Structure 1
Amino acid sequence: EPEFGESPINLFVPAWNYNDRYLAQPIVQHIFLGPYHLVRRGEFLQQHAIQHILCIRDPSEVMFLREVQTNPPSQFHFIDVPADVTKLSIIPYFSQANQMIAGFVEAGQNLLVCCSDGIDKSASFVAGYLMSRYGLKAVDAVTFVQNHRYCATPSPAGYRIKLLEFEPISAAQRNSLISSSNGSNNASVARRRDDSDDEDDQSSMGMDANTENIGARPIAGGHLAKRAR
């Protein structure tokens, strides 16, 4: 069974009060992590320009963690994960969330990732995104999240194990994207070289043809002769 271990990233929180768990903290640019109740806090949404709310919930929470009218308006997104994740393949859920988060971040849009308390489920999904985006190991991703939201604690028998299971898959996905990107760049460079060679060949052929035409056709008024020199 994989072990979570310790991270070489130092766990350092400049200041943390118990009540900070009821707030949201920025983890990386555009991504905030916190509890669900903040969706009803218009001043928070407005202050941080929250455009999207990604809520991680289990089926028993659907009636309580639901879409509400926010001011200013924010778009809700839900990922429903069974409460007992110990025997669950979490990969599709992580992949779905990572794709959504990446889209918002690339568009420069701020989002709040939340669950009921912003401690277990949502913290784990943010850690999963960091693993996929930055190539972090599970323990490093969790430590990074805790550096910004100290109370973030993926459940030892649940999400910590699932993050460890996701680790080799996220690494493989990232390597595949890098290889694909490098291949596209190499192909683009090769196409530019081929196009450049074709242009040089056409230019050379054009010069030969112009030289032949200059000698074959009559020169009127001396204008073409001046250009030829």
Structure 2
Amino acid sequence: MDINGASPDASSSRHTLDSPIYPYQADSYGATMNSSSSMVPSKANGRPTIQNDAGPMGGGNNEWRYEMRREAQQIIPGLYLGPFQSSTNLTRMKTMGITHVLCIRDRKESSLIYPRFPTEFRYMTLDISDNTDQNLIMIFPKCRDFIEEALSMGGIVLAHCNGGIALSPAIVVGYLMWKYSWTADHALAFVQSKRYCVSTMSFQNQFKEYEPIQMAQKMVQQAGFNARVGNGHKRQVSDEDDDDEDDEDRRRKQPMRGESTADISME
């Protein structure tokens, strides 16, 4: 029995490429997923795309093995997803280059799941519930900012919950939706293509609700950026006009060629 309470011979928990969870067809970004392909990150348009020679671990092995659920998989460069067990091996975490840990746990698990190496890594710990009453949408921004800050510093994040099956994958799905403007189905299919044991059924409706929210947030963010750029351009033009006026004033104050100046004093 493993940390998730399941036995290794439980066939219902085993997923192979013979029975993929989400057959996925090409969308506007050109990403696909099928039994012989795995979505892995590339630099094309800044979004993850297909490479046929990489499996869930990014090493060319396309078969998902049961024991891999005890490990962390790289979802995109700089972001790993795994179970609590993957956050307890300091040597392995150092080898992976982990710098930040996003610890997601059920409130009842706080005595068992907690930051193990607080002096080695930067942690964010969130107590949430694995049920339909839990509002993840309110939590997404905080997690997004934690991940983005780590990546902007060149860090590497490990996101984990107890089993790495529901809570932490749900956060990662929400992050990918925001980062790449993906639909819920696209983001979930991508995460499952890297970590096949993911199951986030409790949060499916919230993912759908988050789609228009994250799109609106991106529009507001872009509008703010455009406004800043526009204001910067206006300030630049205004500064140039002021410089022209200053030059003209200086020319007016300068004496004409051949004209001399003298100090006139009253005796």
For 1:47, the equivalent position in structure 2 comes to 95
Offset at residue 93 of structure 1 (A): 1.2
Aligned-partner SS, 2:157: strand
Alpha-carbon distance in structure 1 between the residues aligned to 2:24 and 2:258: 79
Offset at residue 216 of structure 1 (A): 3.8
CA deviations over 1:154-213 (Å, ceiling 9, x no partner): 2x2x12222111111111111110111111111111111111111122122223322449
Offset at residue 123 of structure 1 (A): 1.0
For 1:109, the equivalent position in structure 2 comes to 155
The TM-score with structure 2 as length reference comes to 0.72
CA deviations over 1:111-159 (Å, ceiling 9, x no partner): 10011121211111011011112211111111222232233232x2x12
Offset at residue 95 of structure 1 (A): 1.8
Q: Which amino acid aligns with 2:82?
A: G
Of the three residues 86, 107, 128, the one matched with 1:59 is: 107
Q: Which amino acid aligns with 2:71?
A: L
In the TM superposition, 1:165-180 aligns within 5 A as 165-180=209-224
Q: Unpaired runs of 5+ in structure 2?
A: 1-21, 39-54, 56-61, 263-267
In the TM superposition, 1:9-20 aligns within 5 A as 9-11=31-33, 12-13=37-38, 14=55, 15-18=62-65, 19-20=67-68
For 2:248, the equivalent position in structure 1 comes to 204
- Kindly tell me: are residues 215 and 130 of structure 1, through their superposed partners in 2, closer, same or farther at Cα, counting changes over 3 Å? farther
Alpha-carbon distance in structure 2 between the residues aligned to 1:211 and 1:133: 62
Aligned-partner SS, 1:76: strand
Of the three residues 80, 85, 108, the one matched with 2:127 is: 80
Identity %: 25
Moved more, 5-14 or 56-65: 5-14
Q: Which amino acid aligns with 1:32?
A: Y
Higher RCO (CA < 8 A, seq sep 6+): 1
Contact 2:103 2:115 in 1 (8 A): no
The TM-score with structure 1 as length reference comes to 0.83
Contact 1:5 1:139 in 2 (8 A): no
CA deviations over 1:7-37 (Å, ceiling 9, x no partner): 6342233323312222212222211111111
Q: Quick check: which one's helix share is greater? A: 1
Moved more, 11-20 or 26-35: 11-20
- Kindly tell me: are residues 210 and 93 of structure 1, through their superposed partners in 2, closer, same or farther at Cα, counting changes over 3 Å? same
For 1:190, the equivalent position in structure 2 comes to 234
